[in-house]
């Protein structure tokens, strides 16, 4: 395995990532790791509030929302109503406990990055503090582009906490600001997105919160 410290984020036009970039310390099947529900939050209260406020700004009322890599909480503002919220995650019990979801799908994106939804099915796709676990992220981002309606947005939020054995080596080797550039590279390589916006919504004295947001483009880039 390549030393993670030597890994660097690819340029958006790069045809490949460094050897070992997507390797993990624990390469066992993901359903085994996620078989037990984890009814915990991975951010402190102030950062959760900041994420909810970001969603209040970025996710319009009445939207069709896909909460990708979802769990028992989606961090969406309670007072806002959406047309449909679907959660796709790894643990059925966690999804069942999520009160914001209208539909629930158990699906392993690392085994199969294809999203089981029709083209243009959603207006917003969310990924909250889970993108670091994707071993085939460009394929997943391409699928997100497919299931987004024109003008729809993909909102990827990340912080500094993670399951170290399941996060990819390349992610763990990068500093916080470098991770935003990596996500921008995922968007570019997936094609069909506009230029990503990088937002720092970190509350003072709390867990950091960064978001990378890109819209479905009318034509592939």
pLDDT bin (cut points 50, 70, 90) of residue 30 is confident
Enumerate residues 6+ apart whose C-beta is below 8 A from 221: 188, 191, 192, 193, 194
| pLDDT at res. 43 | 82
Per-residue pLDDT tens digits for 58-96: 999 999 999 999 999 999 999 999 999 999 999 999 999
Locate tokens 């207006």: which residue? Answer: 123
Q: What is the pTM of this model?
A: 0.89
Locate tokens 């089981």: which residue? Answer: 116
Measured CA to CA in angstroms, residue 7 lies from 18, 75, 120, 186 at distances of: 6, 32, 35, 16
DSSP string, 43-68: S-HHHHHHHHHHHHHHS-TT-EEEEE
- What counts of helices (H) and strands (E) characterise the chain? 6, 7
DSSP strand pairing (197-200 vs 210-215) = antiparallel
In the predicted structure, residue 102 carries a pLDDT above the cut 60: yes
Q: Where are the beta strands (DSSP E) in 11-135?
A: 64-70, 84-89, 103-106, 122-128
On whether the CB atoms of residues 129 and 159 are closer than 8 A, the answer is yes
Radius of gyration of the chain (CA): 16
The residue among 220 and 4 whose pLDDT is bigger is 220
Closest CA to 61 of 37, 30, 84, 92: 84
The residue among 128 and 3 whose pLDDT is bigger is 128
User: Domains (ranges, CATH) in the chain?
Assistant: 27-215 (3.40.50.150)
Per-residue pLDDT tens digits for 167-220: 999 999 999 989 999 999 999 999 999 999 999 999 999 999 999 999 999 665
DSSP string, 142-175: HHHHHHEEEEEEEEEEE-S---TTTS-HHHHHS-
Round the average pLDDT of the chain to a whole number and report it. 90
| pLDDT at res. 41 | 63
């Amino acid at each position: 395995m390549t030393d993670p410290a030597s890994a660097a984020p690819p340029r958006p036009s790069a045809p490949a990532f460094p050897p070992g970039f997507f390797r993990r310390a624990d390469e066992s099947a993901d359903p085994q790791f996620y078989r037990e529900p984890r009814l915990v939050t991975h951010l402190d209260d102030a950062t959760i509030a900041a994420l909810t406020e970001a969603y209040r700004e970025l996710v319009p009322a009445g939207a069709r929302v896909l909460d990708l890599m979802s769990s028992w909480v989606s961090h969406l503002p309670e007072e806002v109503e959406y047309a449909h919220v679907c959660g796709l995650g790894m643990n059925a019990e966690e999804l069942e406990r999520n009160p914001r979801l209208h539909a629930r799908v158990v699906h392993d994106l690392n085994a199969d990055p294809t999203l089981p939804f029709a083209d243009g099915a959603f207006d917003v796709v969310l990924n909250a503090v889970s993108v670091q676990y994707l071993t085939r992220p460009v394929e997943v981002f391409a699928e997100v582009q497919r299931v987004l309606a024109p003008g729809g947005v993909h909102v990827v939020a990340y912080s500094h906490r993670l399951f170290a054995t399941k996060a990819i080596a390349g992610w763990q080797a990068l500093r916080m600001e470098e991770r935003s550039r990596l996500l921008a590279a995922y968007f570019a390589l997936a094609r069909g997105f506009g230029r990503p916006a990088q937002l720092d919504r970190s509350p003072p004295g709390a867990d950091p919160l960064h978001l990378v947001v890109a819209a479905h483009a009318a034509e592939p880039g």
